[in-house]
Amino acid sequence: MATTNEPEGGQAKPPRPSELFKGGMMSPVRDVHRVYAHMRVHEPVRKIQSELGDTWLVTRYEDVNRVLRDAETFSSIANAKGIGLVMGSTIIEMDGKQHLRQRRLITPSFSPRAIRETASSVIDSSIDHLIDEFVNDGQADLVKQFTYTFPIRVIADLIGVPIEDYHQFHTWALQLISVYDDPEAGFAAAQHIVDHLKPIVEERRKEPKNDLLSTLAHARIDDEALLEEEILSFLRLLLPAGAETTYRFTGTILHALLTHPEAMAAARSRPESMAPILEEVLRWESPVQYVSRETTREVEIAGVPIPPGLLIMAAIGSANRDEQKFPDGDRLDLQRANTSEHLAFGFGAHFCLGTHLARMEAQRAVARLIERLPGLRLDEQEESHMVGVAFRSPDKLQVRFDT
* Cα 87 to Cα 96: distance, rounded to the nearest angstrom: 20
Q: What is the pLDDT of residue 14?
A: 59
User: pLDDT of 383-395, one tens digit each?
Assistant: 889 998 888 999 9
Q: What is the pLDDT of residue 339?
A: 95
Alpha helices for 207-329 (secondary structure H) = 212-217, 228-259, 261-269, 274-284, 316-319
Q: What is the pLDDT of residue 377?
A: 96
Q: What is the pLDDT of residue 293?
A: 93
What's the predicted TM-score (pTM) here? 0.88
Structural domains in the chain, sorted by start: 17-400 (1.10.630.10)
Triad 163, 166, 167: Cα angle to 5°: 150
Q: What is the pLDDT of residue 4?
A: 39
* Cα 140 to Cα 116: distance, rounded to the nearest angstrom: 29
CA proximity to 258, closest of 359, 389, 380, 372: 380
Where the chain has pLDDT below 70, the residues are 1-28, 50-52
| DSSP string over 167-205 | HHHHHHHHHHHTTTT-HHHHHHHHHHHHHHHHHHHHHHH
Q: What is the pLDDT of residue 178?
A: 79
How many CB atoms lie under 10 A from the CB of residue 165? 10
Q: What is the pLDDT of residue 314?
A: 96
Q: What is the pLDDT of residue 1?
A: 34
User: pLDDT of 58-106, one tens digit each?
Assistant: 999 999 999 999 999 999 888 777 777 777 777 777 788 887 888 888 8
* Cα 28 to Cα 147: distance, rounded to the nearest angstrom: 18
Q: CA 375: distance to chain centroid?
A: 29
* Cα 322 to Cα 284: distance, rounded to the nearest angstrom: 10
